Structure 1
Amino acid sequence: MVDTLEKVIPKNGFDLHLLHTKKFKTIHLSLKFTTKLTRENVTKRALLPYVLQQGTDQFPTAMKLRQRLDELYGTVLSIDTSKKGEHHILTVRLELANEQYISGEANLLDKGIEFLQEVLYQPKTEADGFDSKIVDREKQTLLSKIEALTEDKMSFANTRMIEEMCQDEAYHLRVHGYQEDLAAITPKVLFDYFQEMLTNDHLDVFVVGDIEELAVEDKVAPLVRTRKPATIADNQFKDAGQQQTIVEHDDINQAKLHFGYRTNITYQDGDYPALHVFNGLFGGFPSSKLFLNVREKHSLAYYAASRIESHKGLMFVFSGIAPEQYEKAKSIILEQMEQMRQGEFTDNNLAETKEMTVNQLRETLDNPQGMIELHYQRVLAKSALSPEQLLENVKRVTKEQVIEVANKVQLDTIYLLTSKEAESNEA
């Protein structure tokens, strides 16, 4: 059993999550600002983490910021954005040593919180916006990131599939933003958006560690300034329409064959534990049907796997294949899904997959950031199901429940990114 005591304290405009555990000698603070994904703001939000880590009033350069972190016993700051379902999340993390384990240090947590206040409320500015040199430089950093994602063909293929599959849903938006937006993002535009985020986003503050004796609730209070209470918007859900196949060509040797399914099963649903087990059997582990049959038995794929999206109710299948093997690989992948619907897996397969799924969840809970992410899942889902309860529910999943889930999964989109030579052969 996980030795974590959780306490959720609603505050004025945010929720404080205290996760007390003696497993770690460090304290982890995580501020999660959550809003709806929108085309208008997605690039601005993607740019913010780069700008915020480049300087503040007191520490005006990235080097001086790092020096201050070093002075705080090697404290680590990280800021990034992600999307979960149709939510765009900006996360500010601070990992610092627990002062209870450092002789003669009594105020390290206070100093860490003061540093976070500096980053959030005193960023380096000029006139009525962020520092223009920083913004211009970090636009180039983000542009390089956007271009690099295009070069990662597996990631690019999945992005393109989602854009086609969810084209009329906010989930299709690229979390790292768009190159064509960058020119219009001035230092003032970005700073104004940042102030809006600080005031209007839904905010959850997580503190993880051996914190029982540290009066964390009082210490964290000054970290969050006056803000408007905000609710988390619901995701859009839709059934798979007429199945579509999208074929695109690029200068590649290895084709990327991806499948997009709609499960419409999310974290708060009763059959979510069975979906976890279904995914493990189908494509989530090296013992899965996709790995053993598509990759190992038929040698059709360099890789073959599946993963679920826990808040949008989607499942994705990824495979890398030789371009000429498209039809055969597609047929065998679809065959594995049909076998799942027919219950063609053994009781031993089921037991092993449940054990691997439980171990995977336990490993996540053994990591401070993993613990935060699993607890945050239920915040987004507006669910009372704790990670520990999820783990116990996975243990109780039956074969019948897995088959029931398999028959709910609907194929929406097949996406193939293949070679230009294949295009010539098709012509």
Structure 2
Amino acid sequence: MALRCSSRRLKRRVYALSCLGFVALCVPATYAQTVVGADTRGGAVPGATIARVTNLDDSGPGSLRAALALPSPTIVVFDVGGTIPLKSDLKISRPFTTIAGQSAPSPGITLMGGTLRIHSHDIIVEHISVRPGPGKTAKENDNRDGISIDGNPAGGENSFSFNVLLENVSASWSVDEALSLWYESTRNVTIRNSIIAEALRSAGHPKGDHSMGLLVGPGISGVEISGNLLASNVFRNPAISQGATVYFANNYVYNPGQNGAQFYDRGNDTNTVTSFVNNVYESGRDTKKAIFGIAVSAMGTSGARTTTYISGNIMNLGDYAHAVATNPATLIVNSSPLVGRWTSLMPADEVKAAAFRYAGSRPADRNAVDRTIIDAIQRGQERVVDTPPMEQAIEKANYVAADVPNDPFAVAGNGQYRIEQWLCALHRKVGGQESSRCK
């Protein structure tokens, strides 16, 4: 793709750069391609405990909270489906943990009333929905995310968040970000085939109107974001802070409010590297007319560099939108410096249909909230939400014991354990997309 810069407003299918009044520096790439994303088997390691969740209680024997408190490594399977009403945030604080929501009976698992917080490494979370809703106090609402990956470096290496795979999760109705990554110790994260939608706007955040979709914080490295549906988030679709390394590919962003992808300056000398490849941005009922689809700014001090690759994106944002904007100090390269570990790149004109087919928890057995979101997008009626219909997220308990294979840690084909192959089969059964590790 030949890159060029233009100040005119761009319509429909767009592959050019619209610069902020200047010509960006467009040069051939000289970088060796870096593979980003999670490289982990989660709790599938020798000596792991298989913990069964047998009820929808917030805590106590048989609860998800009790399963996550066990000594790691742990694979959590579910003998029950339905909604778990959380009384406080749910934390994954031990390394080598898998939450296998695909093992639950229909309608799957929904967490409501709190944030799912990941404070450790080698974590896999698949096929669950997280919908916290508004908190009771301003203090609660100040950091009331859907899912937060933010291992605190003050807690030692086991509290660092790295090698984290979120696959087929649904995060919505947050007061702060629907999904956020924070602390520079966070690295090697894959967010794949998920729904990040309807971050709440006027829901009691101390700063006022909010609605923030996906945040990648400063200095976070090795992030792969692919195959996701981002819908009706006013800001942060996504937001990338200075010093981050992010591969953003094959995502469908619908009804962004005030901006699409945006960059945050931290005023230091750290370099930022991003690739935006074969994504689709599409306006909706809340999208402002002069929106920027991808606004890349040069960040930091004079010693910092922002390196970006932008290719194959479709921007259906209207006649007055700016598809892509760059600062003159931004280094635009002609080939991607990054590649996703889990991404099988598809053409942009296939992305929308793939998101409808594969994104979110249990896409072949969707819960009522996800069905409503996708139906509203398809009808052009999807909107930013202020007050969520929390009752729609409440699903009654359905008990069916998970049929865990005998001798689950016996080595089967492809060097995988039998339990890994079983979880892969369930992932495919509930509509998950195949990958190099799951066919």
Normalising by structure 2, what TM-score? Answer: 0.21
- Looking at both structures, which has the greater relative contact order when contacts are Cα pairs under 8 Å and sequence separation is at least 6? 1
Normalising by structure 1, what TM-score? Answer: 0.22
Higher percent of residues as helix = 1
